[in-house]
């Protein structure tokens, strides 16, 4: 019997040599093999729309895929992608933690749903056929992994604050969409107390609008519109700042949270009312 350490290292080397990474695509012909491992609802989704282009993409971090010990990283995670779909403005902000669209090098857009994932034995990557012409670009593969990871690090806003900032209103969503082309993200700092406040109490928040660099005139116009909106909020006192991505310090990044439209709220823990529902 060969040395187990050497055996694992040989498999890791073969995976690396085959070029597997985050965002790598399996061949479409491999879907039947993947059905053995994927959740039933994923298989049913493909059956319901047989004319769609369905492709399994690696969603594991690249460093985990080529790890030298199979016992430490026994699985590779895949996510089902639907290719050549038109852009969906409803998720253009990439603010949804359930659906994601990424530009594809050859097929317009690739769309993903966060629950359409499954695990396969990592050693199986050695024999799985790849479709390199369907791979995501490297940076988009990284975005895919960050999106999946970010789902588990969302910042929960208090219910009453979310209601006061009117995230569920169409006008607010449209205003945020207009910022998409100019803004990387919006980050929020809620000063204490971070809890459900009574109607007569006021939330104090600081909002950082992080613009793509350098700051453009369009970004400034969009920012002015957003800032004017915050001044109309009742029960919320907001300081709003416009920063370029290259000027926003890491210290401020650590002390703030990305403003999300569908994050769970503190109210989820407080009783039967649960979280504020936000439609995607």
* Whole-structure pTM value: 0.66
15 neighbors 114 (Cβ within 8 angstroms): no
Q: What is the pLDDT of residues 125-180, one digit of tens each?
A: 999 999 999 999 998 998 898 888 877 766 777 878 878 887 656 666 566 666 66
**Residue 115 belongs to some domain of the structure:** yes
Domain that holds residue 202: 159-269
Q: What is the pLDDT of residues 208-220, one digit of tens each?
A: 888 876 677 877 8
108 neighbors 85 (Cβ within 8 angstroms): yes
Backbone phi, psi, residue 101, to 5°: -120, 135
258 neighbors 187 (Cβ within 8 angstroms): yes
**Residue 116 belongs to some domain of the structure:** yes
Shared-domain flag, residues 146 and 240: no
Given 99, 123, 150, which residue is the final one in a domain? Answer: 150
- Extract the tokens encoding 90: 């409803």
**Residue 276 belongs to some domain of the structure:** no
Shared-domain flag, residues 105 and 28: yes
Q: What is the pLDDT of residues 262-272, one digit of tens each?
A: 443 434 334 33
265 neighbors 156 (Cβ within 8 angstroms): yes
Shared-domain flag, residues 120 and 194: no
Q: What is the pLDDT of residues 83-138, one digit of tens each?
A: 999 887 656 545 566 788 998 999 989 999 999 999 999 999 999 999 999 999 99
Shared-domain flag, residues 101 and 222: no
**Residue 280 belongs to some domain of the structure:** no
- Extract the tokens encoding 12: 């890791």
Shared-domain flag, residues 24 and 130: yes
86 neighbors 96 (Cβ within 8 angstroms): no
Instruction: Give the separation between CA 66 and CA 195, rounded to whole angstroms.
Output: 43
| Between residues 162 and 50, the one the model is more confident about | 50
Q: What is the CATH number of the domain that holds 213?
A: 3.30.70
Shared-domain flag, residues 21 and 131: yes
Shared-domain flag, residues 170 and 257: yes
Number of domain units in the chain: 2
**Residue 277 belongs to some domain of the structure:** no
Given 120, 150, 180, which residue is the final one in a domain? Answer: 150
Q: What is the pLDDT of residue 167?
A: 60
Residue 240, strand partner residues = 207
């Amino acid at each position: 019997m060969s040395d187990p350490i050497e055996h694992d290292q040989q498999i890791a080397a073969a995976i690396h040599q085959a070029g597997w990474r985050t965002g790598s695509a399996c061949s479409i012909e491999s879907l039947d093999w993947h059905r053995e491992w994927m959740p039933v609802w994923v298989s049913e989704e493909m059956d319901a729309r047989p004319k769609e282009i369905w492709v399994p993409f690696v969603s594991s971090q690249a460093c985990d895929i080529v790890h030298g010990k199979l016992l430490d990283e026994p699985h590779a995670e895949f996510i089902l992608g639907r290719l050549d779909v038109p852009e969906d403005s409803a998720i253009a902000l990439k603010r949804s933690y359930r659906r994601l669209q990424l530009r594809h090098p050859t097929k317009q857009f690739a769309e993903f749903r966060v629950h359409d994932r499954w695990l396969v034995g990592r050693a199986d990557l050695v024999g799985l056929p790849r479709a390199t012409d369907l791979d995501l670009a490297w940076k988009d593969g990284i975005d895919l992994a960050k999106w999946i990871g970010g789902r588990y690090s969302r910042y929960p806003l208090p219910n009453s604050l979310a209601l006061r900032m009117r995230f569920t209103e169409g006008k607010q969503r449209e205003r945020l969409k207009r910022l998409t082309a100019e803004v990387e993200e919006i980050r929020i700092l809620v000063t204490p107390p971070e809890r459900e406040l009574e109607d007569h109490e006021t939330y104090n928040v600081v909002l950082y609008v992080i613009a793509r660099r350098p700051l453009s005139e369009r970004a400034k116009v969009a920012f002015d519109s957003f800032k004017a909106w915050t001044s109309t909020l009742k029960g919320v006192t907001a300081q709003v700042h416009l920063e370029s991505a290259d000027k926003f310090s890491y210290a401020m990044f650590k002390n703030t949270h990305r403003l999300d439209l569908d994050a769970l709220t503190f109210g989820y823990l407080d009783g039967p009312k649960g979280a504020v529902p936000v439609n995607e």
